[in-house]
Amino acid sequence: MGATMLRSCARLIRRGIALPGQPQSPRPLPCCYTTPRFYSPEVIRDYAMPNATWSKNLQDLYNRYMEGSQSGAWERIPSYNATVHHIKGVPPSRTRENRLFTRNLDQDGVGFEYSMFYNKAERRMVCLFQPGPYLEGPPGFTHGGCIATIIDSTTGAGAVYLCGSVMTANLTINYKNPIPLGHVVIIDSKVERVEGRKVYTSCQIRSHDDAVLHTEASALFIKLGP
Ligand SMILES: CCCCC/C=C\C/C=C\C/C=C\C/C=C\CCCC(=O)SCCNC(=O)CCNC(=O)[C@H](O)C(C)(C)COP(=O)(O)OP(=O)(O)OC[C@H]1O[C@@H](n2cnc3c(N)ncnc32)[C@H](O)[C@@H]1OP(=O)(O)O
């Protein structure tokens, strides 16, 4: 995320344009849901939907959380390939070159394949993640920087949905067991407490069947808005 873009996001936020999850609007949705005249579906694709590269494990988990969303406990979070597309009131541009880091590959399945679900009552953001072959670190396993990225994105999205716009100030990770490429894991994050502008989060990464604890992390976010 470039500094110019962050500054312009911060400006928009200060001007009162809502991010998804900001408490002042009843059920904030991304602009593409509310101002369809600004885009055509092929420009603004929601990448958090199943595609042909999803394994059965990812599809099964997705279905389970979708069932949870029908009861109202979980909310599926849409995901676009540019950060500004998540911000209500900003018209998407066909010419924009900036890409959200986790959505910067044009080919399905090779990079960050994931879908997030938010549980407002529990202040939890869960990410169902299938790392693709372009995320290799040690042979056959996911690069630690990619793991840090998806932790930052998941805990960050949880902080955004609870508190509005934030920046990561601190991220601490304990890598306990490597994540094989292609294996589906659950990134389970929670906002532990909010102290003034400081939003403290915790996170675990477990295998899709809960058998393996891969990673533990904590992250501190600082609220940008009022
Ligand atoms: C921004 C738009 C995002 C839009 C997202 C939209 C939708 C989301 C939907 C889907 C998900 C998509 C994306 C996921 C979202 C986010 C994940 C990615 C996030 C990032 O990838 S982001 C890039 C990396 N990130 C940076 O590039 C930060 C560089 N940095 C700074 O920009 C400043 O440093 C800042 C702003 C952090 C603070 O600056 P500041 O001037 O505003 O505040 P100040 O320094 O006064 O600190 C206030 C209080 O925090 C304490 N404090 C500060 N830092 C601390 C630390 N490190 N440890 C312990 N305590 C700390 C102080 O001690 C004080 O505490 P106290 O009040 O008690 O005195």
| DSSP output for 95-118 | T-----GGG--SSTTSSEEEEEEE
Q: Whose CA is nearest to atom 18 of ligand 1?
A: 153
Beta strands in 43-197 (DSSP E): 75-77, 112-119, 124-131, 166-175, 185-195
Q: How many degrees, rounded to 5, is the angle at CA 162 between CA 62 and CA 28?
A: 75
Q: How many degrees, rounded to 5, is the angle at CA 146 between CA 113 and CA 77?
A: 40
Judged by average pLDDT, the poorest of 11-20, 84-93, 159-168 is 11-20
For the Cβ of 160 lying below 6 angstroms from any atom of ligand 1, the answer is yes
pTM score, whole prediction: 0.85
Assign 166 a pLDDT band (cuts: 50, 70, 90). very high
Say whether pLDDT at 152 is over 90.
yes
Closest by alpha carbon to 143, among 157, 152, 156, 133? 133
For the Cβ of 149 lying below 6 angstroms from any atom of ligand 1, the answer is no
The answer to whether 55 touches 130, Cβ cutoff 8 Å, is yes
Q: Please, is 121 exposed, middle or buried when counting C-beta atoms within 10 Å of its C-beta (0-12, 13-18, 19+)?
A: exposed
Average pLDDT, rounded, for the chain: 84
CA torsion, ordered 27, 204, 150, 165, to nearest 10 deg: 40
Phi, psi of 171 (to 5 degrees): -140, 120
The count of C-alpha atoms lying within 13 angstroms of the C-alpha of 96, restricted to the half-sphere facing its C-beta, is: 20
Q: How far apart are the first and last CA of the chain?
A: 22
For the chain, domains (ranges, CATH) are: 3-223 (3.10.129.10)
Q: What is the rounded CA–CA span in Å between residue 152 and residue 168?
A: 8
Q: What is the rounded CA–CA span in Å between residue 31 and residue 86?
A: 7
The answer to whether 127 touches 186, Cβ cutoff 8 Å, is yes
For the Cβ of 217 lying below 6 angstroms from any atom of ligand 1, the answer is no
pLDDT digit string (tens) for 206-224? 999 999 999 999 999 999 9
Q: Which of 99, 127, 167 to mutate to test the pocket of ligand 1 (most atoms within 8 A of CB)?
A: 167
Tokens of 220: 């501190």
Q: What is the rounded CA–CA span in Å between residue 103 and residue 125?
A: 18
Q: How many degrees, rounded to 5, is the angle at CA 119 between CA 142 and CA 62?
A: 50
Measured in Å, residue 17 CA sits from the centre of ligand 1 at 19
pLDDT digit string (tens) for 119-128? 999 999 999 9
For the Cβ of 186 lying below 6 angstroms from any atom of ligand 1, the answer is no
pLDDT digit string (tens) for 85-134? 888 777 666 566 788 999 999 999 999 999 999 999 999 999 999 999 99
